[in-house]
Structures are given as structure tokens and as C-alpha cells.
């Protein structure tokens, strides 16, 4: 780690302490400088502006989740296990983070809502990884008749409650690894687009 990186990490610890104290209220660079006993000019060496600071905060929050997704993608697990692990590792992290300090976790969620354009970048990255997994599954014959994009959208809709931190926290007593495993099996055994939906066909006939 360079001195610059070490300095940034130490400052991000101060940011976390401020978030823990004050909740999900945006922190100004002047406040951070004061908390860190540093001049604003000196702070500027580490973070050019508030935007850069919040990108670093988000980066630190998402980094272990991104690393887990990358590790799973690079692994040689069979596709169904890979898919499960892709969600289970993040679910485990979210539940652990929340259990460690529920108030701090909620403050991060509030900050995320205030900086949705930064969060969006990480959601897009997760979608990109998911598309890779789904392409691998389709190549093995799963999800017959579905394009990658449609399958990504359908899987996101079905698994949103297991990976959106906001929803996981809302449903914390309902989600579990066991249920995730059953849902992943349901998707691998049941999701297809190669025949007109039974439901739609019969619903239309009934009209």
C-alpha cells in the first residue's frame, strides 16, 4: 500500500466513525478534515472533492462483494454451484455486515440512496458478471430459448430479494442460504423461453 493509499484508508476510517455517529447524513470535506485533525488543503491531496470521497466510501463497501463475485466467476465450480455461490457469498456478507452494526448498515443504505449514480455503477458491474454466468449456463443447455439479456432480467427479478441489501435487510428473517439454494434449483430446473408460456397461452384462450 502506498502512503497515499494508507492515508486514504485512515481517512475512510474517520468517515465511517462520522457515519456511525451521525447516521446517513452527507459529510462535507471540511467536517472530515476537522475530524481527522488535518487542514482542508492537506485533505485535498487524498480526495479532490466530495464526489471522489463518496466514490471511495462506496468502493470500500462494495470491494469485498466484487472480489467474491470475481472469485466465483474464475472458479471451476459446476455452473449451478457457481450461480449459487455468486449470490450466497454476497448474501452472507450483507447479513454479517448488518448483524455487526444494524444502525451503521442502515446509514450506509441511506447514503447509497443519496448517491445513487455511484451505486448504479456497482449494480451494472454485478449485472455484467451475471450475464457472463448466464451465458455459461445457456452454453450448457440451461434456460432454452432465452436470450442472455432476457435471462438476466428474469433472474434479477426472481433473486432481487437475495442480493439487494435494502430488501435483504427488510426480509432478514425470511431469506436464508437454504431458500436461496431452492430458488437457484427452481431457476435451473424451470426457467425457459422456448415454448409459449403455459400461463399466457391459456390465459389468452380464456379471454
Q: According to CB under 8 A, which one of 148, 154, 169, 172 is a site residue for a second copy?
A: 154
- Shortest reach from residue 143's CB to a second copy, in Å: 10
Overall size of the chain counted in residues = 207
CB 187 → a second copy: shortest distance, Å? 6
Would you say 4 or 77 has its CB closer to a second copy? Answer: 77
Q: Which stretch binds a second copy (CB under 8 A): 40-48, 54-62, 102-110, 167-175?
A: 167-175
- Binders in 69-88 for a second copy, by CB under 8 A: 77-78, 80-81, 83-85, 88
- Determine the Cα–Cα distance for residues 131 and 146; give it in Å rounded to an integer: 12
Closest CB to a second copy among residues 29, 73: 73
153 contributes a contact to a second copy by CB under 8 A: yes
On whether the CB atoms of residues 127 and 86 are closer than 8 A, the answer is: no
Residues contacting a second copy: total by CB under 8 A: 43
Binding mask 176-195 toward a second copy (x if CB under 8 A, else -) reads: -xxx-xxxxxxxxxxxxx--
CB of 102 to a second copy, least distance (A): 17
Cell of 185: 434449483
Cα separations in angstroms, 116 against 71, 134, 175: 26, 26, 25
Query: Residues 106-145 vs a second copy: string with x where CB under 8 A?
Result: ----------------------------------------
Binding site for a second copy (CB under 8 A): 77-78, 80-81, 83-85, 88, 153-154, 156-158, 160-162, 167, 171, 174-175, 177-179, 181-193, 197-200, 202-203, 206
Amino acid at each position: 500500500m502506498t502512503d497515499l493509499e494508507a492515508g486514504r484508508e485512515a481517512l475512510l476510517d474517520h468517515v465511517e466513525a462520522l457515519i456511525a455517529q451521525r447516521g446517513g447524513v452527507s459529510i462535507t470535506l471540511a467536517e472530515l478534515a476537522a475530524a481527522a485533525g488535518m487542514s482542508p488543503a492537506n485533505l485535498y491531496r487524498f480526495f479532490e472533492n466530495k464526489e471522489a470521497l463518496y466514490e471511495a466510501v462506496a468502493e470500500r463497501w462494495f470491494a469485498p462483494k466484487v472480489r467474491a463475485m470475481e472469485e466465483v466467476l474464475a472458479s471451476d465450480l459446476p455452473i449451478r454451484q457457481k450461480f449459487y455461490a455468486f449470490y450466497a457469498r454476497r448474501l452472507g456478507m450483507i447479513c454479517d455486515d448488518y448483524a455487526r452494526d444494524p444502525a451503521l448498515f442502515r446509514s450506509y443504505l441511506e447514503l447509497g440512496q443519496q448517491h445513487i449514480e455511484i451505486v448504479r455503477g456497482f449494480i451494472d458491474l454485478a449485472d455484467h458478471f451475471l450475464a457472463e454466468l448466464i451465458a455459461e449456463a445457456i452454453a450448457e443447455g440451461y434456460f432454452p430459448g432465452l436470450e442472455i439479456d432476457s435471462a438476466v432480467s428474469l433472474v434479477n427479478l426472481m433473486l432481487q430479494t437475495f442480493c439487494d441489501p435494502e430488501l435483504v435487510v427488510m426480509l432478514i428473517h425470511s431469506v436464508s442460504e437454504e431458500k436461496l439454494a431452492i430458488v437457484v434449483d427452481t431457476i435451473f430446473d424451470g426457467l425457459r423461453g422456448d415454448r409459449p408460456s403455459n400461463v399466457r397461452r391459456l390465459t389468452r384462450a380464456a379471454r
